[in-house]
Chains A and B, each alone.
Chain A
Amino acid sequence: MELVKKYVTEIVLILGIVVVFGTTAMFNDAYTERFFDNVTSLILRPASILGIFALGAAVVIIAGGIDLSSGSMIALSASIVCITTLVFCKLLQPDADDPTASVPIWVVGAAIAVTLFVALLIGSLHAWLITVVQLPPFVATLASLVGLRSLAIVMNKAVSKQLGAEAVIVNIQDSNYLLTSAPWWLPLAIFLTLAMLLWVILNFTVMGRHIYAMGGNEAAAKLSGIRTDRLKWFAYCFAALTASIAGILLASSGLSADPQSQGTGGELFAIAAAVIGGCSLSGGVGRVSGVVLGALFLRVVIDAVAKLITSGNSANYEGMIVGLLVVLAVAMNEVTSSTVGWRKQFFPGALGMVALLTIGLIVGAILAFSLTLSEQATNSWRIGLVAGIITSVVLALIKVLAYQLGKTKPAIQVKP
């Protein structure tokens, strides 16, 4: 029972993955007829890439910080690995029409090394801004969020101009570049290796315990003699490195670097995966297993939406669904971590009533809009209205239930 209680987030996520996958399979035969292709190419592969940089985001969150730069770091890394490859190939074959048609393996290695080194520098810069300049992590990484993507665009244009033709998008023509397009297992293997490594660091090393301690209470950690600056350096460098690895994998998957679009919104997905996986944004709480499952769950849901909405752009719905999941995950964390548990009053007083009605309105509106857009139902507005009312009624019942439980049981039982 203790084990179940400890791993409740992971258990719920596994159940969620099974339920979402199973429900989708009931309505779309893609999962049954093309099971292997769907699971490997459309779930495990993208989930692994998301999971890689979600691990980085999670370490920073556990350490009590936040990293908003991962999306832009992905764009910059994809650009560096491609542009470095292009430069080396051009030096090797200056007269070739298409110098990247066949990329030597040492060039690939060198390009990856350069990219990871730059990531280490960016991570160190974040640590310096936060520990020495004493910028809040939000501001320090916000600067990178807007700055790194811009840097990547300018870099691509400048270097490609130097090589002959100015371009923002850098394409690689070697279809075997970085073992590309082919193996779905490569991102998965990297993801699991990084997850294992991080699990060992967080659970079996002094540094790991210190990270939790710092995230829980930085002032207390400092007073206990923990060198928090070094821990922050590790956290932000790890985050930058994982985002960089994700950027390299995205470049290899798309055989191009397009800093205008690659990794856009990645930081929010990474934070969402970490939060859904049980990390607390107040720091000091979170497990690698939760983040791994959080990333997988997020991807399963996104893919399910793509399978179920076949009349338009399923990506339009991603934001709503991820937002809903994050709110639910944080609410769940609140319930599981709070001493009052289920008796917690989520809808107290007049503000609670307004929130309750607003949530009902949002649920109804989402359903009505979705059905209208997908041209699936003639009575979409009525369905939306009914769903909204039901949601508000259910939440009102929860409010009453919580109130009754709060009245009948003491919030904290003090043992003599």
Chain B
Amino acid sequence: MFQRHNSVFGLVVIVALAATIGCNSKRDSSGESGGSTMAKAKRIILLTNGDDPFWDAMRVGMEQAAEDFDLSSSNLRVVMDKNDASASGQVEKLRQYLGQTDVAAVGISVIDPNNAAMAAAMRDLQKQGVVVVTIDSDVNRARFKDTRFAYLGTENIFGGRQMGLAAKKLRPEGGKYATFYGIEGVANVIERNAGFAEGAGDTFVKAGGFADNMKLEVAQDNVRNALQNHGDLDTLVGIWAYDAHAIVTVVDEKAIRDQVKVIVFDAAPKAIAHLKQGKIDAMIVQNPYEMGYKGTRLMKALIENDTLVIRELYPDYVTATKTFSTPDGDVHHTNIRVVVPTGSPLSQQDFDEGVTFYRADEFDTWLKERGLTGS
């Protein structure tokens, strides 16, 4: 008899723990911030592809939009759900949303644009009346355009091209480069690599692309191996946010700053510090704050069928037919910035039209104005 009581006791402990959290969760979701008598608030979820400081800036943008557009009075709240950097993880999370009753909209940064199971889950969510948009990284548009309303985010090929243009200006005679990133096969990796090759031109030869599976220690080893195996390597390209720190660490360690150019994507806090010290030559920066802000605004507008806002973001949207009048009308590109250290030979003229150019101190001011430490 005692034996049974003992095991039941164990279960009760677990359920009590879960219930305590659940109990509080219920209290909160019934609108602590929006009014005490409100019904259960529905969620606007932003599903990331992995975990990185990049998403912190997007979260700030989402929260600012939630405040500016008064989501609580519409009985909505924003939530960021961080994926484990795998396609199967995203599919499982989408299926979990399908089983929930409080999901109003999902903005997803698609990790694998060609995954048919993910596309099926996104379609199922739409059938269930949930708004689905892609943010930061889109599906394969040729195959799965119907799985979401629209895309909002960086044009990664364009961003990669700016990295290539920076390399071309810094090394007009050409050179040999290696790219470093988290996961092989991810859309933004493919696109930024392709963009770099296009921008840099034929005078640059690629030594290789190195994936680290989002392990920081492997990221550094990749840089060491690349330098070891390719003695003539002179341009190091960080495709994902944390690669900047990995590259700079190894360059410092080997004391070869005068021999290599370092060009990176995204402004992680450590990367910004390195840029200020002149250890990075150019930083191509997306605007996750803008993505979070506009993404939240878009999803709220779609939930409430606010066509004015939808058309403001997507001018080619046809209200009557709920379609787009042009093939690319369902794409809204957010701003791309180029940040360079003080005294850099790079200038606005070296980059494509539409790029915003900052010196390090100017970018620092921009961040401080928004209470951000990275972007």
Tell me the A residues contacting B by CB distance below 8 Å: 8-9, 11-12, 15-16, 19-20, 23-24, 26-30, 33-34, 37-38, 41-42, 46, 157, 167-169, 171-175, 180-181, 250, 253-256, 258, 260-262, 264, 301, 303-313, 315, 321, 324-325, 328-329, 331-332, 335-336, 341-342, 363, 366-367, 370-371, 374-377, 383, 387, 391
Contact = CB atoms under 8 A, between A and B. Distances in A.
A46 B95 CA distance: 11
B184 A328 contact: no
B257 interface: no
Contacts of B21: 308-309, 367, 370-371, 374, 376
B19 interface: yes
B87 A169 contact: yes
Given A12-B4, A30-B100, A332-B6, A255 B116 contact: yes
Contact of B15 (A23, A172, A341): A23
A20 B15 contact: yes
A304 B102 contact: no
B101 A168 contact: no
Interface string B178-198: 000001110000000000000
Interface residues of B, number: 58
Interface of B: 2-4, 6-8, 10-15, 17-29, 43, 79-89, 91-92, 95-96, 98-102, 112, 114-117, 120, 143, 183-185, 211, 213
Given A308-B25, A366-B17, A256 B117 contact: yes
Main SS at interface, chain A? helix
Nearest to A177: B116
A403 B89 CA distance: 48
A167 B184 contact: yes
Contact of B86 (A28, A34, A262): A262
Contacts of B24: 371, 374, 376-377
A196 B95 CA distance: 29
Sorted nearest first, the 10 A-B pairs with minimum C-beta distance are A261-B86, A376-B24, A342-B2, A308-B22, A328-B10, A27-B22, A255-B117, A168-B184, A169-B185, A332-B7
Main SS at interface, chain B? helix
A175 B101 contact: no
Residue in A28, A303, A371 whose Cβ sees the most chain B Cβ within 10 Å: A28
A400 to B, nearest CB: 15
Contacts of A172: 116
B212 to A, nearest CB: 11
Contacts, number: 202
Given A175-B116, A255-B117, 14 more contacts: A9-B7, A12-B11, A20-B15, A20-B18, A27-B25, A30-B100, A33-B101, A34-B99, A41-B99, A42-B95, A261-B88, A336-B3, A370-B17, A374-B28
B67 to A, nearest CB: 15
B285 to A, nearest CB: 26
A152 to B, nearest CB: 13
A250 B88 contact: yes
A68 to B, nearest CB: 20
B105 to A, nearest CB: 14
12 contacts: A12-B4, A12-B7, A15-B8, A19-B11, A27-B23, A29-B101, A171-B114, A173-B114, A308-B18, A310-B43, A328-B7, A371-B21
B22 A41 contact: no
Contacts of B83: 313
Nearest to B182: A260
A254 B80 contact: no
A44 to B, nearest CB: 12
A254 B14 contact: no
Contacts of A258: 86-88, 112
A8 B7 contact: yes
Contacts of A374: 21, 24-25, 28
Given A19-B15, A342-B3, A312 B80 contact: yes
